[in-house]
A = this chain, B = another copy of it.
Amino acid sequence: MAEMKVKPQRVKDFCVCALEKAGMASDDARIAAEVLVTADMRGTATHGTIGLRGYIRQIREGGMNPKADIEIVREGQTWAVVDGHAGLGVVTSFKAAQLAIAKAKSNTVGMVWVKNSNHFAAAGYYAMMCAEADMIGLAMTNADISLSAPGSAGRVIGNNAFAYGAPAGAAPPVNLDIAMGVVAGGKVHAAAREGRSIPMGWAIDSQGVLTTDPKKYEEEGGATVPLAAHKGFGLALLIEILAGVMTGGGIRTELKSYAHNPESPSGIGHFFMAIDIGTIMPIEEFRIRMDGLITGISSSPKAQGVDRIYLPGEMEYEREEKTNTEGFVLDDGALNNLKGLAQDLGLEDEGFWHQ
């Protein structure tokens, strides 16, 4: 695959330019650029700028309002319910997480439920915002249905995502970002596109039988499988309750995918929560205890052939630090996606890709 090394700021500039062209205000476009390019820099490009072309298609086809702002529809001291008005999920979520952090700063805990949002890319970003504010942060989203439940033949719930973040002292913040499926639907799509089979355990066919044929997931009403069977299903359901039921927004089959239904608002909901650590325990004590926990684990005996035990988010943290100075690599797929978007928008001569 062709690859190209790019400077983070150049890619951010391009994202801002593209979103402005699509009708978004500069401040919001800068938020989106920051969130998406950070995912690329952390080595999680599946949730980075690769989504931008699809988001802008959703704007152009009417499913997303680039000028939407968040509206607080109900609130208390420690919580708010927010309407995203079908804006870019990344911007809506950034603002909602900021609101949770502000409430936690004043009242120890902040919980923000968001309805009428769209795809919010990497859940981990919003949890890290909390960690950077010396808080424990949770971020969750529901999604269009793709997972089975134990005993179901088809799709019954989204590959709902969960992230948390917590600061440490000398060690990097801990940051886990996971979805509740054994595998991301995108990996099954890729296998189908490339004519490869998939490992047994990833997906079921329309009869509920495990299959190695990715087309049975794609074309014939199959589903991907929740991690650890009833455990992953049960966790996906908790996210559906918090991000769907409690927000008053879309649930299960009411949700759309921006990739398949760009003409529709996706109807996605999120839940953000921040807990201000310093109110509960002196933050320096917390940092020392976190470092002890982290060092205790990372210095444990390693399995044969293993050099390091990584804590959640540690690898991504190091990649981000490195790419900040050295730039990062966009692979063929990500690069062609951005080039295609540039072409869509008549931006191809702007020279964003030259170092």
Contacts and interface: CB of A to CB of B under 8 A. Distances in A.
Interface string A157-189: 100000010100000001010100010000000
A150 B314 CA distance: 13
A251 B293 contact: yes
Contact of A302 (B153, B157, B286, B302): B153
A234 B227 CA distance: 14
A285 B81 CA distance: 15
Interface residues of A, number: 76
A280 B113 contact: yes
Grouping DSSP codes into helix (H, G, I), strand (E, B) and loop, the A interface class, with mixed when no group exceeds half, is: mixed
Contact of A111 (B109, B233, B292): B109
A164 B240 CA distance: 13
A230 B312 CA distance: 8
A79 B109 contact: yes
A277 B246 contact: yes
A209 B302 CA distance: 11
A306 interface: yes
12 contacts: A77-B108, A113-B280, A136-B241, A156-B309, A166-B241, A174-B237, A206-B301, A208-B306, A230-B312, A237-B311, A240-B293, A244-B293
